[in-house]
Amino acid sequence: MEGRIPLIGEKFPQVEVKTTHGKKTLPDDYAGKWFVLFSHPADFTPVCTTEFVAFQKRYDRFRELNCELIGLSIDQVFSHMKWTQWIKENLGVEIEYPIIADDRGQVAEMLGMIHPGKGSNTVRAVFIVDDKGVIRAMLYYPQEVGRNMEEIVRIVKALQVSDANRVALPANWPENELIGDRVIVPPPGDEETARQRLQQYEGYDWWFCYRELG
């Protein structure tokens, strides 16, 4: 993967990082767990502060999904620690997840988190990595727009449901405008299965069938 950004479906590149919780090796230290790695442009900035609080407010929900959180920016550890201390003292929220101090920018460069038009700042990137160390989703936001944490929780849950049930998830699941919280049956691979599909499942056509989860 040298020389290019890793892709969905590839292994997260192994890297040793310095964090507010000490040194960690990704993805090995999270073997058996999912994790969400998210970068922010800089400490002590207002949009990033709202994001860190929002992630922390949902940390229990991520952990219920066997998923950890890891922040990252091109700041030093002492800056991260002073910022999280400020958040605790002024906003009453203790940031419990580690923050990577990527002060040399090596991790950000490797993962495509540096925006060439924004100096050395990292963009708002999100990498969702499964319990086998495989990248399952990537999201990129501009500096000016804070992330929607509910969508990130939804993606983790949806991927886990898809894996466990071999189904696809519709738009806005579990509140889809057409099929509600039901899930989509994978399309048939041959004509005979296609003919039987609407006898086995509800659907709009043989290629668009769905079922209850569970």
b (16+ CB within 10 A) / e for 142-170: ebeebbebeebbbbbbbbbbbeeeebebb
DSSP state of 14: P
Listed in sequence order, the DSSP H helices in the chain are 46-57, 59-64, 77-91, 106-110, 149-165, 191-200
Contact 47, 116 (CB under 8 A): no
Catalytic residues: 48
Contact 187, 207 (CB under 8 A): yes
128-173 residue pLDDT tens: 999 999 999 999 988 889 999 999 999 999 999 999 999 999 999 9
Give the span between the Cα atoms of 132 and 29, in whole angstroms: 11
Which CATH class for the 15-146 domain? alpha beta
Contact 39, 67 (CB under 8 A): no
48-85 residue pLDDT tens: 999 999 999 999 999 999 999 999 988 899 999 999 99
Domain 166-214, second-level architecture = 2-Layer Sandwich (3.30)
101 Cβ neighbours under 8 A, 6+ residues apart:
17, 18, 19, 20, 75, 76, 77, 79, 80
Where are the domains positioned within the chain?
15-146, 166-214
SS3 171: coil
Q: Name the pLDDT band for 1 (thresholds 50, 70, 90).
A: very low
**pTM score of the predicted model:** 0.92
Q: What is the pLDDT of residue 19?
A: 96
